[in-house]
Amino acid sequence: MSRKEVIEILKKEEQHWVGDGFLVSSMFSPNHRLSEYLSPFLLLDYASPKEFSKTNLRRGVGVHPHRGFETVTLAYKGEVEHRDSSGGGGIIKEGDVQWMTAGSGLVHEEFHSKEFSNQGGDFEMVQLWVNLPKQFKMTEPRYQGVKETQFERIELSDGVDMKIIAGSYKTHQGSFKTYSPINIYDLCLKNASCAEIQLPKMTNSLILVRRGSIKVGQKEIKAGELAIFERDGDLIALEAMQSSELLMLNGEPINEPIFSYGPFVMNSKQEILQAIDDYNSGNMGKFPSSLP
């Protein structure tokens, strides 16, 4: 086994609103200068913990399209309600995860759930965009929702708990189907605990620290920071400087050209123009009239 070192730490950027429900920092987005080390992940928006007052309004983001990739929403606090034109939808609550394959295209909306809006409270969420290999960009849309209690969990070492969201860890399986090799784990570490995480060779790996602070080699990664690792090596060794919570992303890079424009991520400019055309002519799914 050889250790992977951190090549760069991205800090939380200035926050911006997505609709009126999600105050996020885009930790990275398509065409980032380090995108070869981020692939297959295209974007990570982090809505760090924020308290929302109670309201009767629907806070969130209204109908908009996507094509050519997948959106993965992880609710850590609060509740997100989602509907899309392919018939997918549901409410994800604390610890639940939603995996929406936009594929050939759909339109959807994302709001705080009615119940959460009425009560108010703490809200924390991550939304990831996961690229699709060229051969799957126009696949049928798909919706997968998994509840907190359904995930497999393991105690990695003393004081270190792993929740396997996607992919696998050793003999333990994640809960989502993916179109390319991806592993996603939530890690919870007690103060001063240490973990060694084994990862497949020559894959990309990222860690978002949500709470606390960890050390990898000589580098400290604090809450709201995202560490990017080198591809070499097959082991990440980390030490918790205090009680910490992390999101770990790992995947085989997709070495294909990326053309992105707003909500569309394709392989060529021609495909982007086609996506815009299809959306404008109503061929990307209708909403809400096409819902059952």
Binding residues for Fe cation: 64, 66, 108, 110
Buried b (16+ CB within 10 A) or exposed e, 136-155: bbebebbbbbbeeeebeeee
Token duo for residue 224: 């709201």
Give dist(CA 123, CA 49) in Å, integer.
5
Closest CA to 221 of 1, 7, 9: 9
Q: In the chain, helix, strand, coil percent, each to 5?
A: 10, 50, 40
- Around Cβ 281, how many Cβ atoms within 10 Å? 8
Q: Which helix (H) or strand (E) holds 265?
A: strand 264-266
Closest CA to 186 of 169, 204, 161: 161
Residue list for the binding site: 64, 66, 108, 110
Give dist(CA 185, CA 272) in Å, integer.
32
Q: Which residues pair with 219 in a beta bridge?
A: 216
